[in-house]
Structure 1
Amino acid sequence: MDSNGESDFTSYWFDEPERSEWIKGMKIEALERREHSLEQLKRQNIYTPLWLSVIDTEFEVTMPSVREICGRAGALLVVALYSECLLAEGMSIKEASDFIANIRKDFQVDQYLSLREFDYLNNSAPTKTEQIHFSWQYENLLMMEWALGFVEELPEADRICDVPFVVRIMNQFSSLADMIEKSQLRDTKELLDYADFIFRLDWACTDARLDQLPAPNHMDPEVVMERHKSIFWITGCSHESDWDLVDVST
């Protein structure tokens, strides 16, 4: 630092030694997955500690079926579209409900709605906060589409998703059965790799927020958190099949 308080120093990386108790009992697969995530994050100058837990292995997880993932995608589409109708289009509750009616039927959405989603769609006076919350479900829908093989590559989590693109993907399908038939679920290893990565990235975003600092590498913390929720539900890492109860703590 010079006499004016300026410096060319831009970043500092702390390579902490790993303690044996941190990895005691951990599976080799989980440790290798963690190491891969740490390498990815380090390339982006994003620090996460070695003491963070590892996620479950392929042998340990129980994933939802393709049908359940497609059903969840349909539910997410409906609540997000409904919110968009209310927030962006200024529709009445009845107009918004009528707009999503055919999609709700074609994708058998009522079978897959969570309790909170069902209550929201049947609330005659949803709050603005509720509408905004459910409008974020396009982010989760993108994750379902990616897991099912309809999106080749996920964009960086530094901005909200391309909503028209996400909706166009769903418009390809005439029904839930059509979507199921065309799905090609990604390999479990690939899904778990991303789950481990986003879990650590979410920790970094949360840590920055608690320290009143900007999110690392210009990430959007809300996008990161929604992806964390989705991938943990898809992989079964949350140990909770109820969408409303998925744990995204870090």
Structure 2
Amino acid sequence: MNHFTICASKNDTHDIEEGILDTLAQGFVVEKNDSSYLLKSKGLFKRHQGAIHVIADNTDPDYFAKNMPGMMSFYHNIPFEDEQLKELVMIQISVFNTVIAVEMDKEITDEQMQLLIKLLSSIGGVGFLPDGTLLDQQGLVIVYPNGESGPSNFRPHACTKMINVQEATSAQGEARKNNTIAFLVEKGIPYVASLPQLPSVEDCAFKRQEDIAKRAVALLIAIQFACDVAQSGNIEDSREFFLNMLHKYNVQQFLTDNEKSFLQAQYPDAQYPDAQEAVSIAWQYEAYWTLIWALGFVETLEFPDDVCDCDYAIQVVSSCETFEQFYAQIAMRSKEEILDEADKIYRLHWACVNSRINGQAAPLALNESVVMERRRALFWMIGYRNEQWDTMSMDT
């Protein structure tokens, strides 16, 4: 093998450089290059070259958003002979925020592997071999790729930064999680038990009813303009009409920054706004549908395998002459009901990602785009991690 990866849960990466320079200097000439390190073996014969790349979630969050779900899926699908060990491994993966990737141009020698194990020990992480074997920080096998347990007495480790990011567990959150899992089992939908619970009602920063209502109306107007753009309609006439609608309902301040830019951007003659951006905004019909469900205009959030009723979605607002008339019809759902749906969509999203990564059709024809937009709206309403609408993380 010529690859070795160390994953860890770290408050910062400052001590990693010291570990690389001190440990690997015994067998390599090490040259630092930004967040990477170039390696050249010191031997006169069979000279090796390689590199170490250090990746942290605060500098490259996209890497973790793209790769951690795949790692979770890979180990979830391994038939562990010890289910408790599987839970521990999945918990550990969920708090990884640092990756040290070693790439060599030739096979890693036994002597070099010993140095890499020393590096693993100094960092305090988990070692990943290319075949999927996991090593603890002493270099002992945690689990083999066939699910057989190794000799390691493994226990997960999380840095204080990751612990603080994880919402506090609660009996309420565990009960909600278990209810969702029971729903998934009944439907025959795969799940991973280590996916964290969501915060309790008391620990959520729920949006106010009026803010949800104004956001819903503003979003619908932005969506309608995006639909006109996607269909190559008269952009200027459409823009003027929908800007007037925003003022009519007095909700212009509830547009997101992306929506404001999209609505207000000026384009040269014969040039239209970006069609892909228009399609992305138009897909948020599903997020809007979820908002008006929370406001009581939609009776049930059906299983997310199909798109919403766009004609009815429009009529909910268009039948009202003023925002006050729309607001007077609201029958707001309880925070508990909204949080229940948020937990359900969170775990359904994992099922979508798991299927996609493994090249399989989503279970029960789940529509991942619908699931993602519902999640955007639900997580925004519960104030999850205080994330903003346009930049809502979709980690699973």
More strand by share: 2
Does 1:87 pair with 2:87? no
In structure 1, the partner of 2:103 is: none
Alignment partner of 1:181 out of 328, 332, 336 = 328
CA RMSD of aligned residues (A): 2.3
Cα drift, residue 101 of structure 1 = 3.4
Q: Does 1:172 align with 2:172?
A: no
In structure 2, the residue corresponding to 1:166 is in which secondary structure?
helix
Unaligned residue ranges in structure 1 (runs of 5+): 1-13
Deviations 1:126-177 (A, max 9, x none): 2111111111121111011000011111122101111111111112322222
Contact 1:18 1:50 in 2 (8 A): no
Give CA deviations for 1:58-82 in whole Å, capped at 9, x if unaligned.
1101111111101110121011100
- Whether the 8 Å CA contact 1:66–1:180 is kept in 2: the answer is no
1:69-124 deviation per Cα after TM superposition (whole angstroms, max 9, x unaligned): 01110121011100112223x31211211332342112223111111110010123
Match of 1:162 in 2: 309
Does 1 or 2 have the higher relative contact order (CA < 8 Å, sep 6+)?
Answer: 1
Per the alignment, do residues 70 and 18 of structure 1 end up closer, same or farther by CA in structure 2, a change over 3 Å counting? farther
Return the alpha-carbon distance in structure 1 between the equivalents of residues 391 and 226 of structure 2: 21
Comparing 94-103 and 105-114, the one that deviates more: 94-103
* Aligned residue-pair number: 236
Among the aligned pairs, what percent are the same residue?
27
Deviates more, 1:99-108 or 1:190-199: 99-108
Query: Does the CA contact (< 8 Å) of 1:146 and 1:153 recur in 2?
Result: yes
Q: 1:142 aligned to 264, 289, 299, which one? A: 289
Amino acid paired to 1:61: C
- TM-score, normalization by structure 2: 0.56
Give the corresponding residue for 1:107. Answer: 249
- Offset, 1:18: 5.8
CA distance in 1, matches of 2:377, 2:361: 24
Q: Distance in 2 between matches of 1:39 and 1:239?
A: 29
Match of 2:392 in 1: 246
Check 1:213–1:192 CA distance in 2 against 1; reply closer, same or farther (3 A cut).
same
Deviations 1:203-241 (A, max 9, x none): 11011111111111101010001001110011112422x
Query: 1:25-40 maps to which residues of 2 (within 5 A)?
Result: 26-40=169-183
Structure 1 contact 192–235 (Cα < 8 Å) conserved: yes
Counterpart CA distance in 1 for 2:352 and 2:368 is 6
Report the TM-score, using the length of structure 1 for normalisation. 0.87
Contact in 1 for aligned 2:190/2:351 (Cα 8 Å): yes
- Cα distance in 2 for partners of 1:230, 1:199 equals 12
> 1:182/1:154 Cα in 2 relative to 1: closer, same or farther (>3 Å)?
same
Stretches (4+) displaced over 3 A: 14-22
What is the 5 A alignment of 1:1-250?
Answer: 17=83, 26-88=169-231, 90-124=232-266, 125-240=272-387, 242-250=388-396
Looking at secondary structure, tell me which structure has more helix per residue: 1
